[in-house]
């Protein structure tokens, strides 16, 4: 039995403690906004917050979140109104969109720490998140917009 909080709701699950958090979220809890990309923490598509810190859910055994608070893209804001989500729409960032939950969660950690990051700080913070459609420049613009518009 593993007990933790997901998007503000307490969950108790009878799963193997070694199960990656990713599959617990996606297939046990049906929170499919968090995506499977690589399974080895190499692409960032599965990024979630664990006690506010951006982590790769694919490389996090569920036992590690025992007693902790997990936030997924579904819990970032109640209605898609987080400044980053609004900026992502305004800048028309997503193409295929598959990586964008992870991109937004990664960026949300940055803005929570640094309200006005430089371009260099953005690139450094985001470099572990792959977007194969090549929307990187729009991601940078959206983070800068969210930083400006809050």
Partner 1 sequence: MTERIDPRTTDLSRRDFLGAAAGLTLALTVTPDPLAFIGEGVSGEALADGLLSPNVWLTIATDGTITIVSPAAEMGQGTFTALPAIIAGELDADWSKVKPVFPPEWNEKKFGNPGYDNYAFQTTASFAVRGYFKAMRIAGAQARRVLIDAVAAKWGVPAHELSTEPSVVVHKATNRRISYGEIAGFAKAPPELPKIEDKDLKPAASFRYIGKDLPRVEVPLKVTGAAKYGIDAQVPGMVYAAVLQSPYPGGRPETVDETRARQVKGVTDIVKLPEGVGVIGTSVEATQAAKNLLKVTWSDAPGAHHDSEKALAEFAAIGRDNSRQGVPYESVGDAKAAMRGAVKVYRGEYRTRYLYHAQMEPMNATAAVSPDGKSVEIWTGTQGATSLHNQVAKLMGIERTNITLHQHFLGGGYGRRSQQEVVIDAVRLAMAVGKPVKLIWTREDDVTGGKFRPMTAHHIEAGFDAGGKLVAWHHRVVAESVAAYTSIANGTPPPPLDRVVMKGSPIPQYPIPNKLAEHVIETGRARLAAFRGVGNAYNAFAAESLLDEIAKDRGLDPIAFRLTLSEGQPRMQTLLRTVAEMSDWTRRRDGRGLGVGTMVKDDTLAAGVAEVSVDRATGKIKVHNFWAAIDAGLAVQPRNVAAQTEGSIVYALGHVLREKITIRNGRVLESNYSDYEVTRMSDVPNIEVRVVSTDNPPTGAGEDGVPVVACAVGNAIAALTGVRLRELPFAPERVRGALGA
Residues that bind partner 1 (CB under 8 A): 16, 19-20, 23, 26-27, 30-40, 42-43, 45, 72-74, 79-80, 84-85, 88-90, 92-101, 104, 123-124, 126-140
Alpha-carbon distance 23 to 5, whole Å?
16
Closest CA to 84 of 142, 136, 131: 142
**Contacts within 8 Å (CB) and 24+ apart, 39-43:** 42/128, 42/130, 43/99, 43/102, 43/128, 43/129, 43/130
Task: State which residue, 15 or 68, has the beta carbon closest to partner 1.
Answer: 15
CB 11 → partner 1: shortest distance, Å?
A: 17
Task: State which residue, 4 or 138, has the beta carbon closest to partner 1.
Answer: 138
Q: How many degrees, rounded to 5, is the angle at CA 111 between CA 93 and CA 120?
A: 75
HSE-CB for 54 with a 13 A CA cutoff: 24
Alpha-carbon distance 33 to 86, whole Å?
17
CB 112 → partner 1: shortest distance, Å?
A: 17
CB 150 → partner 1: shortest distance, Å?
A: 17
For residue 4, list its beta bridge partners: 11
Task: State which residue, 5 or 136, has the beta carbon closest to partner 1.
Answer: 136
Task: State which residue, 32 or 144, has the beta carbon closest to partner 1.
Answer: 32
CB 82 → partner 1: shortest distance, Å?
A: 9
CB 23 → partner 1: shortest distance, Å?
A: 5
Task: State which residue, 38 or 64, has the beta carbon closest to partner 1.
Answer: 38
């Amino acid at each position: 039995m593993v007990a933790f909080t997901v998007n503000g709701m307490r969950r108790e699950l009878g799963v193997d403690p070694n199960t990656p958090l990713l599959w617990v979220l996606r297939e046990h809890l049906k929170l499919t906004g968090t995506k499977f990309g690589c399974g080895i923490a190499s692409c960032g598509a599965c990024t979630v917050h664990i006690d506010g810190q951006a982590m790769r859910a694919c490389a996090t055994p569920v036992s590690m979140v025992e007693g902790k608070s997990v936030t997924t893209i579904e819990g970032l804001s109640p209605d898609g109104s987080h400044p980053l989500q609004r900026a992502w729409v305004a800048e028309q960032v997503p193409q295929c969109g598959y990586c964008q939950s992870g991109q937004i969660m990664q960026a949300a950690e940055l803005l929570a720490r640094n309200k006005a990051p430089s371009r260099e700080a953005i690139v450094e913070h985001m470099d572990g998140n792959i977007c194969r459609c090549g929307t990187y420049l729009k991601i940078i613009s959206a983070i800068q917009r969210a930083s400006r518009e809050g």
